[in-house]
Structures are given as structure tokens and as C-alpha cells.
Structure 1
Amino acid sequence: MNLNIYYIQKKIDTNERLENKYIKLISQFAKININNIFSKQIAKAHEIGINEAKAEYTKAYSQYKKNYSIALSENGKNINSFEFANLLKDKNEINFFIGGAYGFNDEFLNSCDYVVSLSKLTFSHELARILLLEQIYRGICINKNHPYHK
């Protein structure tokens, strides 16, 4: 399985140690790529306004929308870890998208196969990635009957 996580973050201030822990654990079962796609166009759009920024996020992400796509949004569906694990089943490649500073526009969310909420709370990109990585690992473990989930 190939897993791709795409996010938009101007300043990279990540907790590499914890992020790398989950990347290493997941790598036992799947190939994982994490991609920051912040660009000059996104920076310019931020200066113009919210709608322009969301439109630029959609444009930037569109080239990566292939195979099964899951967007993370606070307005997405609240699911438990077993339901999340089911999203991972029988997929060759999954693309996860974390919104930019202003989230996603409806056009992008409607074009995804699934929209999930990690919580009703809003998280920084750094924390959202770590939570997503942990849930991916947990989901893989659930699907493989690995004892991590217990």
C-alpha cells in the first residue's frame, strides 16, 4: 500500500522525533510519503483573502488527487478507529489531504472520496499530521490483528 500525506504549511516547525516514530512504524506495512506543497502562489493568495487561498489550495492539491482521496476537515465525518481502519482496507494507494490555514472549499471536499474529522477541535498542521500518522498506524494494526490497538 502507498500512503501519501499532503499538507500546506508555510513555516515548518515539526516534532520530527514523534513524526518519524510513526513513519518508521507504518513503513513496516506500507510505503509512506509526506509532502508539504506550500508555494509562492499560495502565499500570494493568503494576502488576497480566504476564498482566494482556498481556491489556490484546491488548485495545488488537484495534481495529487488520484486513486482514493481522503480530506481532513473539522466538518468531516466523525469516525472511530475501527471505521478509520476500514477506510484503509483493500486500497493500493491513499492520498490524505490536510487543509491550509483556511481549510478547504466545498469544491475540493466534494471531489474527495471521503472527508474525515480528527476532532471538532482545530489542530496545527504539525499536530494534525502526528494524529493522522498515529491513526494510520492504529488502523493498519487493527486490520492486521496486531496488538497495538489493545
Structure 2
Amino acid sequence: METNLQINIFYIQKNNEFEILDQKYIKLISKFANIKEYNLFNKKIANAQNLDNPELAKKSYEEVFNAHKRGFNIVLDERGKELTSLEFAKIIQDKFELSFFIGGAYGLREEFTKKMNFSFSLSKLTLAHYFVKTLLLEQIYRAFCINSNHPYHK
């Protein structure tokens, strides 16, 4: 299936314990959209996190994210709006480019999230970052299935 939709997932993560599941969902999503993931973890972020300085860490995340904002920008944030899968499917419908941003261990500043097109919460629970990415990938696939009347959602 040829598609013009581009999905970008930008995240900050030291390791990925769910890589097998992530690749499964990326393959399934690729039937509906071009999808790329970018791990932006770098030495500056590692240093900020090692100093246990939340503000410095958040600023270092935002520095790497700012260069990648394009299309319809969605930040994953615990303070964001919680949606059902059907509501999420409507949000991503009819877009040409979607960019998702998953912060690092200290989250993101409200100033940054307000500059995005949409702030989305997967849960009020605090979740491990590698789990958030996997859950997001599953929900993106589910949204495409909903929007195309595929039976996966049922």
C-alpha cells in the first residue's frame, strides 16, 4: 500500500527492552504510513541526568526536540489530554505528517508542551519510557485499523 503519510517518533532512551514488540508494530504501521523512529539520547542529556538536575535535563531534551518539530506535533505528557482509542484515531486522521515526542526520565516542561499542536497522555500512571513508545506504537496501529475499518480494533 503506497502512502504519503509520514510518522516520526522522537524519544530519549538509554535502552529498549521492548524492541521486538516495537518492530512488530512498526511493520504493521508501515502498511498505512511511512514511519521512522529517532532516539535522540546524547552525551549532553546523559550528563544532565547524571547530575540529577531535572530542569537541566528537561532543557537538554527540548534542545534536541526543537530541531525536529514538523507536521502535526504531538507530545506525550502525563498532564496531556487522555483519549479513547476512537478519539485518538480522529486526531491523527487526515494528516500528512505526524511527529510524536516522548521526553526523557524527567519529563518535559509545560512551556515546551504548550508549543505543540497536541499534548496527549497515555495514562495518569508514570510509565517507563521504553514502554510508552511501545504503547504509542500499538495505539497508532489501532488508530489506523479504526480509520480503515480493519477488524484489529474489535
**Which TM-score applies when normalising by structure 1?**
0.95
Listed as ranges, the gaps of 5+ residues in structure 2 are: none
Could you tell me how far apart the structure 1 residues matched to 2:22 and 2:112 are?
Answer: 26
Letter in 2 for 1:143: N
Match of 2:130 in 1: 126
Residues 138/102 of structure 1: CA separation in 2 closer, same or farther (3 Å cut): same
Residues 73-114 of structure 1 deviation map (CA, whole Å, 9 limit, x = unaligned) = 111101100110011111111000111100000121011100
The 5 A counterparts of 1:1-150 are 1-10=5-14, 12-46=15-49, 47=51, 49-150=53-154
SS of the counterpart of 1:102?
Answer: coil
Deviation at 1:16, TM superposition (A): 2.0
Could you tell me how far apart the structure 2 residues matched to 1:146 and 1:48 are?
Answer: 45
Could you tell me how far apart the structure 2 residues matched to 1:8 and 1:104 are?
Answer: 11
Aligned residues: 149
Could you tell me how far apart the structure 2 residues matched to 1:66 and 1:100 are?
Answer: 20
Letter in 1 for 2:85: S
Listed as ranges, the gaps of 5+ residues in structure 1 are: none
Letter in 2 for 1:5: I
Could you tell me how far apart the structure 2 residues matched to 1:60 and 1:144 are?
Answer: 34
Identity of aligned residues (%): 50
Residues 41/114 of structure 1: CA separation in 2 closer, same or farther (3 Å cut): same
Could you tell me how far apart the structure 1 residues matched to 2:62 and 2:16 are?
Answer: 24
Deviation at 1:149, TM superposition (A): 0.6
Letter in 2 for 1:60: V
**Which TM-score applies when normalising by structure 2?**
0.93
The alignment yields a C-alpha RMSD, in angstroms, of 1.0
Deviation at 1:48, TM superposition (A): 5.8
